Structure 1
Amino acid sequence: MIRWATFDCFGTLVDWRHGIATGFELLYPGRGAELLEIYNRLEADVQAETPVRRYREVLAETLRRTVAEAGLELLDDDASVLGTGLPYWPVFPDTRAALTALREAGWRLALLTNCDRDLVGQTQRRLQVPFDVVVTAEDAGEYKPGHGHFRRFAAAVEATPANWVHVAQSHFHDMVPAQALGIPRVWINRHAAPHDPAIADAVLPGLDGLAETVERVHAAAR
């Protein structure tokens, strides 16, 4: 049986918070952490308003709204800073080893990402571990927590809850829809978020020990 481990990319494998905060620091030194929190609150609304909007445009529009809410000035050209910097956002130190361990254990890997094809393609060179399938928001025609990524992936490779475990950091974008669809899931709670852990089949603070956890969750779901 082919077994699939699917991943969110940004926030789970790549340090999304660092990338967003650093982009703001380039424009507004000393304000990165503050503006990150505003941005984090606004981005899902921007995605929901226009589900077919490319992620590069989501980044720019959410940045504009963040800066406006903070009462700061923004040069028109500066709105592109997040999309320009995204391919250089750092990979978490535990990412490559965890992905490699899963591949060595016989799992096939896929990305289900709220991103554009071109941006995630540039990010994959930094991950350095190959993925067998990539489903983007551009492919799905919507952003998670919509179910488009999951349904498109399942149809493409005939994945079912019997041969599939989803791994992600975002409770809202990934754990909630995966639970609704009955997909076994591992929540990577990197920031000790106070959400209900019972929504996941397993919870880890990072990717260390992921291969063993995915095996256990998979076995319990069969």
Structure 2
Amino acid sequence: MRLTDFRALTFDCYGTLIDWERGITAALAPLVERAGKPLTRDEVLEAHARHESQQQRYTPEMPYSDLLAVVFRRLAEEWGVHAAASEAAAYGQSVKQWPAFPDSASTLQYLKKYFKLVVLSNVDNESFAHSNAKLQVDFDAVITAEDVGSYKPARRNFDYMLDLLPSLGVRKDEVLHVADSQFHDLQPCSELGLRSCWIYRRFEQRGFGATVRTMGEPAVEFKWTSMAQLVKAHHEELSKG
């Protein structure tokens, strides 16, 4: 199988294109400093993943910025820290400041020349608009949790995307889903028979970071540690003809 076999790339955004772990830890730093015990970066991210996934399951229609405010309050309770409502609300808005990975914008601009590009993201539309400005590319379609009314890994998010693709002139077998998260993306893709590419951003780190731990490793068609490697592989395919 070759990258040039596909006509569309669908992307998870946060963790794949936007460095959400860096954004999360920076925005939570003041809260962590007030915690009753020292917390490692991984402990912070794993606690965040646990509360976030639980809240997404119980309130699937809650906008992501509001959901993050709830996660902030749950973390404060767990760590025994008093947190003002204004702090929780500010954390909910912090997505707008989360940075892109250094290779995201340039690689997306390259891929735009060869593929339809679609985002399937677990955020609200306003938050994504700020992230999109950092990615510097016009996606052919943007699908958020706010649009669908649920959060990945719910199957309906992927069904929504697959139902939309024919309007772009793309079939399911012409799509490659590109993502970092096994829990949110790669496992559902495996279950749906949707081909996928793992951008393994955490290859030099232990654990699952800001995503829920999964059992085993889902099968994927491609695996790289950066978007730049994906682009390099595509360029090599073109050069070989």
Say if 1:65 and 1:80 are closer, same or farther in 2 by CA, change over 3 A. same
- Paired position in structure 2 for 1:204: 224
Q: 1:43 aligns with which of 27, 31, 52?
A: 52
2:65 equivalent to 1:56: yes
Q: Do residues 188 (structure 1) and 199 (structure 2) align?
A: yes
Structure 1 residue runs without a partner (length 5+): 217-222
Matched to 1:157, the amino acid is: L
- Alpha carbons 2:6, 2:176 under 8 Å: kept: no
Q: Which is worse superposed, 135-144 or 32-41?
A: 32-41
Percent sequence identity is 33
The 2-side partners of 1:162 and 1:214 are apart by 18
**Does residue 148 of the first structure (1) align with residue 156 of the second (2)?**
yes
Match of residue 100 from structure 1: 109
Tell me the number of residue pairs that the alignment of Structure 1 and Structure 2 aligns. Answer: 216
Structure number with higher relative contact order (C-alpha < 8 Å, ≥ 6 residues apart): 2
2:159 maps to amino acid: R
Q: Distance in 2 between matches of 1:198 and 1:123?
A: 28
| C-alpha distance in 1 between matches for 2:143 and 2:40 | 30
Residue of structure 1 aligned with 2:80, choices 51, 55, 71: 71
Question: What does the per-residue CA deviation read over 1:177-210, in whole Å, with 9 as the maximum and x for residues that have no partner?
Answer: 1111111100111113576445211211111221
Structure 2 residue runs without a partner (length 5+):
209-213, 237-241
The CA deviation at 1:35 is 2.9
2:143 counterpart letter in structure 1 = V
Q: Counterpart in 2 of 1:20?
A: 24
Report what 1:85 is aligned to.
94
Instruction: Tell me the CA shift for residue 2 of structure 1.
Output: 8.2
Please say which of residues 74-83 and 30-39 is displaced more in the overlay. 30-39
Distance across 2 between alignment mates of 1:174 and 1:145? 6
- Is contact 2:179-2:186 (8 Å) kept? yes
Counterpart contact for 1:99–1:129, Cα < 8 Å? yes
Q: Tell me the residue number matched to 2:142.
A: 134
Q: Displacement of 1:81 after TM fit? A: 2.3
TM-score, length-scaled by structure 2:
0.82
Task: Report the RMSD for the aligned CA atoms in angstroms.
Answer: 2.4
* Structure 1 segments of 4+ aligned residues over 3 angstroms from their partners: 26-32, 193-198, 211-216
Question: Residue 121 of structure 2 corresponds to which residue in structure 1?
Answer: 113
